[in-house]
Structure 1
Amino acid sequence: MEINNEEFEKTFDEAFEQKSEEINSQLNREVLIAMVGDVNCGKSSTINKLMKEDIASVGSKPGETVEIREIPYKDNIIFVDTPGLDDVVKVNSEITLGYYKNSDVILFFLNAAGTVLSENELKNLKDIEKVNRDIIIVLNKIDAADDIPELVKYIQDHTNFKYPVVPISSRTGENISMLQNKLLDILEKKSKDIMFAMNLKEKSTTANRWILAAGVSSATVGASPIPGSDFIPLTGIQVGLMLKLSTLYEKPISKENAKELLIVTVVGNVGKTIFRQIVKFVPGAGSIIGASVAGATTVALGYAIKYMHENNIDLQAAQLKSIYEMLLKKEKEKQEKYEGDDDEDITFVK
């Protein structure tokens, strides 16, 4: 069954305009991230590790005079360093509470090497959650403490499992990617994740996250790459993925290029013969979307575009077949090297 060209053109154009508008609106929005904790809990070193850039001064000493600090990053991201509601004079407490209320995410810092979740810290947390529940509890300095799982469980038990607890070391960088993912989880719900993600130095993890999420969404739609009742939402998912990846890597894609790529992968035959094999070697992809033609096509498209961006290859449809085949060969060689040669065919549930 062939796709009606007029229907495809209309569907694609509408999806491209809609997704472009959604992404552009994100890029004009501000992200406000408040950090609360004492002066020795590693807030500054954490955001330096998170953004992989020295954007905040470090080296505050215990007992040093505390104040509220705005730490801008690029044009639209602002970190706010706050000492906590009980550690400043009353007028500052009111200002601090205002920051918490307006923040997109609050990073509540605890010191794994100190008294974890003291009575005062728990009171602060309860006061903050009255105005904002988008909180991530950051258990820092795990490199200087023992029995971290027990500390995490203690925090969860005493906060009724309301918030994610992320154990990190701002000194070694351990689990910083976990913190990044938790931030993106919250920002995505507020349609602010794209702008934040494109300012991260390490983009591959975010790209993988988006590709697999698009694959799952496509699998949920349950469409084969043919016209029908599911063709419109599937086109929207794939167009959105192309635009998000191009924005992430700051390599804009034209409407004509995007249309050509989609025609080659979805309408044409370039990807159909090998995309099922590709997902066999993509960690997590096979188990999530391996049973879906639509999901597997989307994942293959996403990883090909990601590879082209990361290797400065122009996004041209003519390149896709060789990229697909190269990715398949590369991943198969890697699998054979570390896991042994396994030529078993994939079985797809229909």
Structure 2
Amino acid sequence: MREDSPLGRARDSLRALVEDPKLPAAVRDGLSEELGHVQAMLERLEEGHIHIALFGRVGVGKSALINALLRERRFSTSPLHGETRAPQSARWEERQAHERGAGGVFLIDTPGIDDIEGEARERMAREVGRRADLVLFVVDGDTSATEIQALRVLAEEHKPLLMVFNKVDRYTEAERAVLVEALTLRCRGLVASDRIVCSAAEPGPRIYIEIDASGRETETLRRADPQVQALREALWAVLESEGKALAALNATLFAGEVSDTISTRVLAIRRDLAAAVIRSYCLVKGVVVGLNPIPISDLLAAGAADLGLVLHLARIYGLPMGKAEAGRLIATIAAQMALVMGSVWAVHFLASAIKGGTAGLSTLVTGTTQGAVAYYSALVVGRAAQRYLAQGRSWGPLGPKRVVQEILDGLDRDSLLTEAREKISARLRGSSFA
């Protein structure tokens, strides 16, 4: 049963991709990884899970932020950059306590986007970011060109995000205010000002002075508690107001992305298959026309070959048509060809007439020439019909004349005719008619 809601429509879109019976086996095999991601996202929607990815440069404190939100040291942190080498996730239990009956929230740590020695890790981080329902874009000061570019990529993908200004404990109140204002200005159009949150996930050690009863002072070095309450509250607010919408939006965007990939693969397979079919019909048409000793009837044979070609192409593109419709399409293409190929068609008819005048004795001589012209014309008919079908039975804004003209302009007629003559001559020499 279909659910008429954004989340329900997202589920339906994902199911349609996974269960599409029209998807060719070759395409399904080539997209096994993408379809696996679709199935995983469908399961996430069924469970009501939300994935939040932390994104940012190396060393901005992504792992420390997750530890602070979890209230435990789950992920490793160190002064060395690049500690996170692969995406890691942890379930954030606070949502269940804060919002009864809600699905699970998973916090995903990612490698740094600027890890020079780990380009593969950077691609991995971007991929996780694309799959997440919400992104926490973590910075530790003013933004760099790398960060702005990453923000633009996320904005182009319509990815919901919060910007987390981490390590604010390193700055004075005045410096913090200046940096927040700078972030707001530099990220205008990419991050809303009310989506910038300050935090200190792992404050630096501080010296504490303790005075005992006798007045003796003792210095101790301790870390202050993490300052992430503002981030917690911002996340709760987003999840309460937009949780289901976030999941639906991300699933819909992902379904559209995979659908585009599938469409591209299907078109490529159809294009390759159509090219092979066109070449096959070109040779068949050329040989049939060249072998036919009866005047004019060879032209009828050529028409039959064109009809078979168009019907075959229509099936490849999933747009089957009857003979009458195929005949009208061929007539349209032939009419445009006649306008720009008059001399070639003249050779076609002249060669057919010569056959009659010599009682068929010149079949090898004229048949090769006429067969080459038939080969060439079949190539044009096939490619024009392919363009028409690939555009959903439409010539598009160019119209049939421009389409045919473009195809002709893109062909080397002399070399194609020479190639066709060689192939057809070899076939004719082996026939009894020659």
Q: Which has the bigger relative contact order, CA under 8 A and spacing at least 6?
A: 1
User: Highest CA radius of gyration, 1 or 2?
Assistant: 2
Provide TM-score, normalisation by structure 1.
Answer: 0.42
TM-score (norm 2): 0.34
